[in-house]
C-alpha cells in the first residue's frame, strides 16, 4: 500500500497544469509556444503549425478539478474513466460542430484530434486584444462591437447552439477592428425540439451568466435569452469598467445600479437584457437588435435636436439683424469710429476755415475750427450716436420671467413624477418576482414550508408598497390568514 501511494505521488506533476513550451502534438504537426489562458474546463495555447509556419491557437480539454497532469508533463489522468471518456467524446463532437461554422465574427476551427489521453482542437489565432484588456470605451464603440457579436450569435442560434460564455475576455478585436467571438469551450448543441443534445460539464462566468445557467442542471432547454443576458452584462462591463453583480444576488433582491457615466437610454437596454427571469428578456437576437435600434434612434434624435437648436439660434440672430431698421444698423456701425478719422475730419475743417478767413469769406462773424478743436481734449474720441435697444417695461419683463419659471417648474414636476412612477413600477416588479419564486416553493411544498411563507410575505409586502395589485393582495392576505 505504501509503495502504491509513493507511485501515485510520483506519477503526477502537480506544480503545473499546462504543457511546457516546446511540446509537440499530432505527430509534430503542431508545437506549443505558450499559454494564452486557462479556465475551469480547458487550457488554450499559442501554437505553431510547423508545416505551414502559421501561428494557431490550440484548446486542450482539461477540467482542472477532474484531470491531473502526469509526470511526463503532457499526458493526463482521471479517476472516473467512463464519465471522463464520455465528456471527451462530447468535446470532440462539439469541436467538429464548430469546425462547420463559417462567420466573419466567429473564430474558425481548423483541426480536431485526440492525444495524451485527452482531446484538442485547433483554431485560427486572432492577432489583437480582447475587450477585457482594452478597458473602458465609449458607448458608440461598445454598440458597434456588440452588434457584430450579436450577429455571430444569431448565426449560431440558427443552428441551435448556445455559446454560454459571452464576456469581454472572449471577444477579440483583430487588426481590422473586427470583433471575433472565441472560446466555445462550454457551448452546448440542441436538437430541433430545443432539448440538449451534447454537453461538456456545466460552467458559468460570475457576473455574466444568468441565474438559470448557475444551477447544477445548466441550460437543458434551448433559450437565446441566456446568451442575451451575457450580452447585456458585457455592455455594462466595457462601458463602466465594473463587472455587474452575480445574477444570484440580483435574484435575491440586489438592484442593478446605473453606472455614473452610462446614459439612461443604454442602461434601459442593459436592464432589459439582464432581467432575472428569462421571459422578461429579449427572446431572440432580432428582438435584441430592435432594442439596440431604439437606443440608436433615440441617441440620433437627441444629437439632431441639439444641431437643429443651434442652427435655429443662428438663424434667429441673423433675422433679427436683418429686420433692424436701416438707421439703427447705420448708427451701430458708427460706434467704433477710429480716432484717425476724427482728426482727419478736424484737419479738413481747420483748413477750410483758414482759407475762408484768408479770402474774407462772405462777411460776418465766423467760428473757426481752431476754437472747435480747442474744446476737444487730445486723444478724446468723437462722440457718435449709437443705436439703443428697445426698452422693455419692468412689469412686462417681470411677468415674462414668472411665466418661464412656472413652465420650468411644471416641466420639472412632470419629469420627476414620471421618474417616480418608473421607479415604483421597477420596484414592484422586482419584489413581485422574488415573491413569486417563493410562492411556487411554498405551494409545491403543500403549504408546509414556513420559511418560504415568510419570504413570500416579506417580498409581497414590499411589492404592495409600490403598487396595490389585487392578485398580490389576495395571496398576501391568504398567507396572513394561514
- What is the rounded average pLDDT for all residues in the chain? 79
> Rounded CA gap, 234 and 166, in Å?
7
Question: What percent of the chain is predicted at pLDDT more than 70?
Answer: 73
Q: How many domains does the chain have?
A: 3
246 and 176 belong to one structural domain:
yes
102 and 154 belong to one structural domain:
no
Task: Let me know if residue 332 belongs to a domain.
Answer: no
The band of 172, judged by pLDDT with boundaries at 50, 70 and 90, is: very high
Cell matching residue 247: 445574477
Residue 180 clears pLDDT 60, i.e. is over it: yes
Task: Let me know if residue 319 belongs to a domain.
Answer: no
Q: What is the mean pLDDT of residues 210-239?
A: 91
Please give the pLDDT value at position 191. Answer: 87
196 and 218 belong to one structural domain:
yes
Q: Between 82 and 347, whose confidence is greater?
A: 82
22 and 41 belong to one structural domain:
yes
260 and 273 belong to one structural domain:
yes
Q: Give the structural domain span for 172.
A: 128-301
> Rounded CA gap, 278 and 247, in Å?
12
Give residue 337's region: left, alpha or beta (phi > 0; psi -120 to 50).
Answer: beta
> Rounded CA gap, 243 and 451, in Å?
32
- CA quadruple 192, 193, 198, 204: dihedral positive or negative? positive
Question: Nearest CA to 266 among 303, 301, 286, 294?
Answer: 294
Residue 45 clears pLDDT 50, i.e. is over it: yes
Question: Nearest CA to 271 among 281, 262, 284?
Answer: 281
Q: Between 34 and 430, whose confidence is greater?
A: 34
Q: What is the mean pLDDT of residues 341-361?
A: 59
Task: Supply the CATH number for residue 105's domain.
Answer: 3.30.200.20
CB contact at 8 A, 343 and 303: no
Task: Let me know if residue 218 belongs to a domain.
Answer: yes
SS (H, E, C) 324-346: CCHHHHHHHHCCCCCHHHHHHHH
Task: Let me know if residue 339 belongs to a domain.
Answer: no
135 and 118 belong to one structural domain:
no
Q: What is the mean pLDDT of residues 111-138?
A: 94
173 and 285 belong to one structural domain:
yes
Residue 433 CB-density burial (10 A; 0-12 exposed, 13-18 middle, 19+ buried): middle
CB contact at 8 A, 476 and 461: yes
Crossing angle, helix 285-323 and helix 139-157, to 10 degrees? 150
Task: Let me know if residue 286 belongs to a domain.
Answer: yes
Domain limit, last residue, from 94, 124, 154? 124
Please give the pLDDT value at position 300. Answer: 55
Task: Supply the CATH number for residue 270's domain.
Answer: 1.10.510.10
Please give the pLDDT value at position 6. Answer: 33
Domain limit, last residue, from 124, 143, 175? 124
286 and 153 belong to one structural domain:
yes
Please give the pLDDT value at position 94. Answer: 83
145 and 217 belong to one structural domain:
yes
> Rounded CA gap, 317 and 264, in Å?
33
Q: What is the mean pLDDT of residues 283-299?
A: 88
CB contact at 8 A, 372 and 346: yes
Q: Using CA atoms of 163, 168, 172, 173 in order, give the dihedral in degrees to the nearest 10.
A: 130
Q: What is the mean pLDDT of residues 4-14?
A: 37
Task: Let me know if residue 327 belongs to a domain.
Answer: no
CB contact at 8 A, 342 and 382: yes
- CA quadruple 174, 286, 163, 54: dihedral positive or negative? negative
Tell me the backbone φ, ψ of residue 277, rounded to 5 degrees. Answer: -85, 135
Task: Let me know if residue 322 belongs to a domain.
Answer: no
Query: CA 274 → CA 203, 244, 250, 258, 268, distances in Å?
Result: 19, 10, 9, 12, 10
8 and 132 belong to one structural domain:
no
> Rounded CA gap, 414 and 410, in Å?
6
> How far from chain centre, in Å, is Cα 374?
76
142 and 91 belong to one structural domain:
no
139 and 273 belong to one structural domain:
yes
Please give the pLDDT value at position 214. Answer: 85
Domain limit, last residue, from 124, 149, 174? 124
Task: Let me know if residue 373 belongs to a domain.
Answer: no
Amino acid at each position: 500500500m505504501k509503495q502504491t501511494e509513493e507511485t501515485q505521488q510520483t506519477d503526477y506533476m502537480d506544480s503545473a497544469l499546462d504543457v511546457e513550451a516546446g511540446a509537440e502534438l499530432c505527430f509534430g504537426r503542431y508545437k506549443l509556444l505558450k499559454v494564452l489562458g486557462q479556465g475551469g474546463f480547458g487550457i488554450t495555447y499559442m501554437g505553431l503549425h510547423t508545416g505551414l509556419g502559421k501561428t494557431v491557437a490550440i484548446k486542450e480539454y482539461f477540467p482542472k478539478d477532474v484531470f491531473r497532469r502526469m509526470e511526463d508533463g503532457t499526458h493526463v489522468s482521471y479517476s472516473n474513466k467512463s464519465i471522463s471518456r464520455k465528456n471527451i467524446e462530447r468535446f470532440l463532437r462539439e469541436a467538429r460542430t464548430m469546425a462547420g461554422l463559417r462567420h466573419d465574427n466567429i473564430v474558425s476551427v481548423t483541426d480536431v484530434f485526440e492525444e495524451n489521453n485527452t482531446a484538442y482542437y485547433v483554431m485560427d489565432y486572432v492577432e489583437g486584444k480582447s475587450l477585457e484588456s482594452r478597458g473602458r470605451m465609449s458607448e458608440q464603440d461598445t454598440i458597434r462591437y456588440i452588434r457584430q457579436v450579436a450577429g455571430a450569435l444569431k448565426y449560431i442560434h440558427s443552428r441551435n447552439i448556445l455559446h454560454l460564455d459571452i464576456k469581454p475576455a472572449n471577444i477579440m478585436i483583430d487588426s481590422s477592428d473586427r470583433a471575433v467571438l472565441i472560446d466555445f469551450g462550454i457551448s452546448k448543441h440542441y436538437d430541433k425540439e430545443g432539448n440538449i443534445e451534447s454537453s461538456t460539464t456545466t460552467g458559468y462566468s460570475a457576473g455574466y451568466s444568468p441565474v438559470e445557467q448557475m444551477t447544477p442542471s445548466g441550460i437543458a432547454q434551448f433559450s437565446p435569452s441566456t446568451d442575451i443576458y451575457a450580452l447585456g452584462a458585457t455592455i455594462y462591463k466595457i462601458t463602466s469598467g465594473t463587472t455587474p453583480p452575480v445574477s444570484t444576488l440580483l435574484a435575491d433582491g440586489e438592484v442593478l445600479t446605473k453606472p455614473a457615466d452610462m446614459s439612461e437610454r443604454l442602461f434601459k437596454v442593459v436592464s432589459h437584457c439582464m432581467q432575472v427571469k428569462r421571459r422578461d428578456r429579449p427572446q431572440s437576437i432580432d428582438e435584441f437588435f430592435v432594442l439596440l435600434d431604439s437606443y440608436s434612434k433615440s441617441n440620433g434624435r437627441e444629437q439632431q435636436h441639439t444641431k437643429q437648436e443651434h442652427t435655429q439660434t443662428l438663424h434667429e440672430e441673423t433675422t433679427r439683424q436683418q429686420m433692424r431698421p436701416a438707421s439703427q444698423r447705420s448708427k451701430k456701425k458708427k460706434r467704433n469710429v477710429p480716432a484717425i478719422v476724427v482728426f482727419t475730419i478736424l484737419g479738413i475743417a481747420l483748413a477750410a476755415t483758414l482759407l475762408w478767413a484768408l479770402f474774407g469769406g462772405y462777411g460776418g462773424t465766423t467760428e473757426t475750427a481752431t476754437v472747435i478743436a480747442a474744446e476737444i481734449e487730445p486723444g478724446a474720441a468723437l462722440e457718435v450716436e449709437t443705436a439703443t435697444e428697445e426698452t422693455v417695461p419692468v412689469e412686462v419683463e417681470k411677468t415674462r420671467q414668472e411665466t418661464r419659471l412656472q413652465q420650468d417648474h411644471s416641466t420639472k414636476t412632470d419629469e420627476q413624477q414620471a421618474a417616480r412612477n418608473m421607479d415604483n413600477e421597477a420596484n414592484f416588479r422586482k419584489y413581485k418576482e422574488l415573491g413569486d419564486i417563493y410562492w411556487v416553493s411554498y405551494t409545491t411544498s403543500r403549504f408546509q414550508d414556513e420559511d418560504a411563507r415568510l419570504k413570500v410575505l416579506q417580498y409581497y409586502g414590499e411589492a404592495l408598497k409600490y403598487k396595490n395589485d389585487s392578485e398580490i393582495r389576495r395571496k398576501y392576505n391568504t398567507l396572513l390568514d394561514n
